[in-house]
Chains A and B, each alone.
Chain A
Amino acid sequence: MNDVYARAGSAADPPYLSPDYVGTRTRSPQRPLIVVPQTLSEITGPVYGHFDVTPEEADLTRQHAGEPLGERIIVKGRVLDEAGRPVPNSLIEIWQCNAAGRYRHAVDQHHAPLDPNFTGAGRCVTDEGGNYQFVSIKPGAYPWRNHANAWRPAHIHLSLFGPSFLTRLVTQMYFPGDPLFPFDPIFNSVAAKARERMICRFDLDATRPEWALAYNFDVVLRGSRATPTDPDHA
C-alpha cells in the first residue's frame, strides 16, 4: 500500500524532547517511534461538521450575560493542506485565557482576575472554501513556573481534525511582535524558520470599523499527497 500522506512534507513539528520546556523531560518517549504503513485505520478519521456545532459557539464574547473585558478581536483564516487545497467542513476547537492572562480553569492560580463574562472556549466548522472565523478578546500574557520569571506570550490554542487520523493537529496561534517570543521555550521548540507559521497577521481589510481588530491565521494541515491526476498539479 502506498502512502496517502507524504511522510516528511513541510513538517516542522518540534521534537518530543525539548529540554528548555521542562515538562518534556519526563513526558517525551525515549525510544524511536516505530514507522508503520498508512492503513485504513490511519487514512480514515473522525467526521464532525456543521451538524455538531452552532454558529454562536464561534463567538466567545456572547456566551454570558455581559460582554467580556478586553480588546475585542476577529480571528479568521483558512484551513489548507500542503498542496494549498482548502480543507472544508472541518471542526476547529479553540481555547484561551482572558484579557488579564487568567484561564477559567481550576488549576490556574495566577493572581489575575477571572472575568465572569468569559469562558474562553469556542468551536466552528470550516466552510466549503476552508474558511473559518471566530470573535473573541485578545488573550493576555501570563506567568508559568517553567523557569525563573517565565511568561507565556499571548496565544490561542487551536485544535483541528482535517480529513483523517493523520491530519489531526493541535497548535497555538501567537500575535505579531510579541516581546516574549525570545524567552518562550514552547514557541522556540519549533525550528526558527517555521516559527512565523504560528504567528497571525494583522488584517486591516477584515478589521471592522468602530468594533474590532482582525487577525488572519491560515492553518496548514498535513496534506494529501498530490497525484498526477490532481488538477492542481496538472
Chain B
Amino acid sequence: MPERTPSQTVGPYLHIGLTQGAYGAREIFSATVADAGLAGTHIRIEGRVYDGEGNIVPDAVLEIWQADDQGRYAHPADGRPLASNSFRGFGRCATDKDGAFAFETVKPGCVPGPGGTKQAPHINVGVFSRGLLKRLFTRIYFEGDPAHAGDPILALVPVDRRATLMAKADPGKPSLFRFDVHLQGVSETVFFDA
C-alpha cells in the first residue's frame, strides 16, 4: 500500500499559489461564498488571526466549507439537490497586513449529524500559515443559536472553551459577525481532529 505524503507548511509566500490575484494571475477561489441572489440570510464574517504572543498573523490563509441555508452540501456524499448550481460552499481568504480576513456568505442551515442528531449551523474552517506544519481545523458556530443544545460536536468541547467557536453578531449590524482565531495562548481556539 502506498503511504501517505506528509504535510508541510505553506510558508510565507503562499499568496503566489493560493491567492494569486495579487500577482496578476487568474484566481479561481474567493472569499465570497454566496452570490447576492442566493437564498438565505446573507452575512459577513470578519476576524483576525493571532499567534501565541498576541501578535497578528499576516501570512495565514483560511478556507471555509459550508452547507447552504437548508443545510445541504454541494458534494456527491450529500445526495440532496441544491437550489442553486452557483453555490459551491467553499471560500478562501488570506489574512492581510493587519491579520484580518473576511468572508461573504449565507448562514448555513442545520446539518444532519451522527445517530440522528442535528448539527447546529456551522462553518468548517481550515487554517494554514507559515509556522503551521499542517492545517488546523476548527468550526464557526453562531452565538446564541438554540440548536447548540443538541449539537454532537459542541457536546465534546469543554463548556469553558466553547466561546472560542462562537461568531458574535455586531450589536449595530446583525448581518455582521466577528470570529477571531487564536493559534495559541490563553484564548486558544478549539481545534479538532476528525
Interface size class of A (residues with CB under 8 A): 35 or more
Q: For B75, what are the chain A residues with a Cβ–Cβ distance below 8 Å?
A: 44-47, 164
Question: Is A21 on the interface with B (CB-CB < 8 A)?
Answer: yes
A26-B53, A34-B192 known; A52+B28 contact, CB < 8 A:
yes
**Pairwise interchain contact B194-A38, C-beta atoms closer than 8 A:** yes
Select B8's contact among A15, A39, A170, beta carbons within 8 Å.
A170
Q: For A12, what are the chain B residues with a Cβ–Cβ distance below 8 Å?
A: 3-4, 6
- Closest Cβ neighbor of A185 among chain B residues: B133
Question: Is A108 on the interface with B (CB-CB < 8 A)?
Answer: yes
Count of A-B contacts judged by CB separation below 8 Å? 253
Select B88's contact among A14, A35, A46, A107, beta carbons within 8 Å.
A46
A39-B111, A40-B111, A44-B65 known; A198+B8 contact, CB < 8 A:
yes
Question: Is B188 on the interface with A (CB-CB < 8 A)?
Answer: yes
**Pairwise interchain contact A27-B73, C-beta atoms closer than 8 A:** no
| Chain B nearest CB, measured from A92 CB (Å) | 10
**Pairwise interchain contact B2-A31, C-beta atoms closer than 8 A:** no
**Distance of A187 Cα from B7 Cα, bound (Å):** 10
**Pairwise interchain contact A220-B51, C-beta atoms closer than 8 A:** no
A10-B4, A170-B7 known; A27+B132 contact, CB < 8 A:
yes
Q: For A107, what are the chain B residues with a Cβ–Cβ distance below 8 Å?
A: 12-13, 59
Within 8 A of B (CB), among A89-136: 93-95, 97, 103-105, 107-108, 119-121, 123
A21-B133, A157-B17 known; A27+B25 contact, CB < 8 A:
no
Question: Is A48 on the interface with B (CB-CB < 8 A)?
Answer: yes
**Distance of A33 Cα from B15 Cα, bound (Å):** 27
| Chain B nearest CB, measured from A18 CB (Å) | 6
Within 8 A of A (CB), among B1-47: 1-18, 20, 23-26, 28
Interface residues of B (CB under 8 A from A): 1-18, 20, 23-26, 28, 51-53, 55, 57, 59, 63, 65, 67, 73-78, 88-90, 111-115, 119, 122, 124, 126, 128-137, 139, 152-153, 156-157, 161, 183-185, 188-194
Interface residues of A (CB under 8 A from B): 1, 5, 9-16, 18, 21-31, 33-48, 52-53, 57, 63, 80, 82-84, 93-95, 97, 103-105, 107-108, 119-121, 123, 157, 159, 164-166, 168-172, 186-187, 189-190, 194-195, 197-198, 218-223
Q: A10-B4, A42-B194, A48-B90 are in contact. List 15 more A-B contacts (CB 8 A).
A: A9-B4, A13-B4, A21-B133, A26-B51, A33-B193, A37-B152, A45-B75, A52-B28, A82-B4, A95-B17, A157-B11, A189-B133, A197-B3, A197-B4, A218-B2
